[in-house]
Every structure is written in C-alpha cells, then in structure tokens.
Amino acid sequence: MHAILYAILGVVVILVLGPAVFADRSPIPETSGNVTKINEPAQLETVLKSNKYVVVDFYADWCPPCRAIAPVFSKLADDHAVAGQLGFAKVNVDHVKDVAKKYGISAMPTFMFFESGEPAQVKIEKHGAEEVVEMVRGANVALLRSVVQEMAKKSLSS
C-alpha cells in the first residue's frame, strides 16, 4: 500500500515540479570574453591549434547542471586564460553535433582537456595522492577547478 502511495506521490511531484526544472531552454549566456563559443567544427580546430592547452565545456541549453556550472567555467577562464597558452571553449552538443560525436560526448556537462591539439590527461593532487583526469563528467566544481589550476601552472611554465 505504501509503495503505491509513494509512486503516486512521485508522479505528482514530477508533474508539478518537472516543467519548472526543465522549462528553461534559452541559450546559456556566456559572461566571459575569454571563452570561445564554438559554432562549427573548424572553430574548435582553430582554438586547439592556437593554444598549447585548452579546456572545452560540452553543454546543452536544456541541461540544469550545465546552467549551474556555466558561471564557474566563465570565472575560471577569466582567472586563468593566457593567449596562446591556455584557452577555453564551449560546445553546444545540440548545435555542433559532429564535434560532440567525434569526442564521444554522451553526458552533459562534460569537460575535456587538450594539450597540443590532442585530448590530454591531467595529473592532479587529490587527498595526498596523484590522480589522472581525462575528463570531468557532470558539474563537479572542485574537480574542474583543480584540473584547470594544474593546467594553468603547466601553461605558465612552458
């Protein structure tokens, strides 16, 4: 009996709150002049070739976690971008599907890291141990911040 009641309650909550949570499909505004919004595959190739290191945010306008982490990504770009060394880009997976497919993006947001135009692994210090990060799936602010800070150190020393 309780299971049926909880199931009905769950459906009601989804019907009432669902539209409010997923209603905003307007474009996520970019507040940083240090983030290149990618509109076609050639643009990303240009960004990858013109910077030694690049952080790419694969996102979708309908994705609430993408909206939540967008200001953090912009702030990281403002704090760490260095022309020719460390670049930041955003790819809307619904608009530039070829790029998302090329890199096997299936969850949003996903952050990928590149070195010399190729996908890269970044070694970070976590809880006193070294961890290798290939990408960040989801709005994991602490992990994204750690990887970007490590890339910034590498970009300044190269």
Catalytic residues: 63, 66
Nearest partner of 121 among 147, 98, 152, judged by Cα: 147
CA angle 67/107/96 to nearest 5° reads 80
The DSSP code for 132 is E
Contacts of 104 (CB under 8 A, 6+ apart): none
Q: How many residues does the chain have?
A: 158
